[in-house]
Amino acid sequence: MRRLNFRKMLLTGAMFLSAGAMSTSTASWAAQPRPQAAADAPSLNVALTYQAMHANLVTSPTFWMQGGSAQIEGRFYHGWGAVADISGMHVANMNSSGVGLNLVTATFGPRYTWRLPHKQRYEMFGQGLVGVADGFDSTFPNLLGATSTASSLAVKAGGGLNLALKTHLALRLFEADYLRTQLPNATNSAQNNLQLGAGIVLRFR
């Protein structure tokens, strides 16, 4: 229990620290000229996004959660790179049950980005990530009863579209990912979720 709470605090704290540090730097980059570098140029990118997730307790019914994410991507060879994603989601009352849910996921994996041939300011990407999901402040039934916290494998696959504004700044126009978790739910212990996001991307070349 203590290890789970420590991991929850660490992941949540890292997300908010990253958001605060990056937001203070945005103003200094806003005056830079428009980008000319290709999508396959080596770079380090940090994305801060708002997230909405269509989730489920078991197979049905479904509900919506809201939150945010911080992503760090290192792009190193012809559009190929690696990304780390920390997302935090919350719902106060799942399906009028009176039970809420907080969910933090930390996932890592490869991403491929390509620039649209006739729209040089647009970049599309696809990714496949794997990591851990931590649920807390909720109810997770299992064979021994129920707990208020639980952890499981998290698998995320999807992609999105960026619009470059300036050398160091882009918009994440949209991101759509399938997220599978395996938190205890007294039936199949599996959740299939659709995660949608949009925000800003800070780019370092």
The domains of the chain are located at 2-204
Backbone phi, then psi, for 14, in 5-degree steps?
-65, -40
- pLDDT at residue number 198: 98
- pLDDT at residue number 9: 47
pLDDT band at 158 (very low <50, low <70, confident <90, very high): very high
Amino acid (1-letter code) at residue 141: P
Is the pLDDT score of 28 beyond 80? no
Query: Taking residues 150-166, what's their average pLDDT?
Result: 96
Secondary structure class of 15 (helix, strand, coil): helix
Between vectors from CA 111 to CA 116 and to CA 25, what angle results, nearest 5°? 85
* Beta strands at 150-166 and 119-136: parallel, antiparallel or unpaired: antiparallel
- pLDDT at residue number 139: 87
- Alpha carbon distance 47, 175 (integer Å): 11
CATH of the domain spanning 2-204 = 2.40.160.20
pLDDT band at 171 (very low <50, low <70, confident <90, very high): very high
Is the pLDDT score of 144 beyond 60? yes
Percent of the chain having pLDDT more than 70? 79
DSSP single-letter state for residue 16: H
| Cβ-based neighbour number of residue 194 at 10 Å | 16
Of 38-52, 85-99, 119-133, 180-194, which gets the smallest average pLDDT?
38-52
Backbone phi, then psi, for 199, in 5-degree steps?
175, -145
Quote the mean pLDDT of the chain: 83
- Alpha carbon distance 187, 142 (integer Å): 9
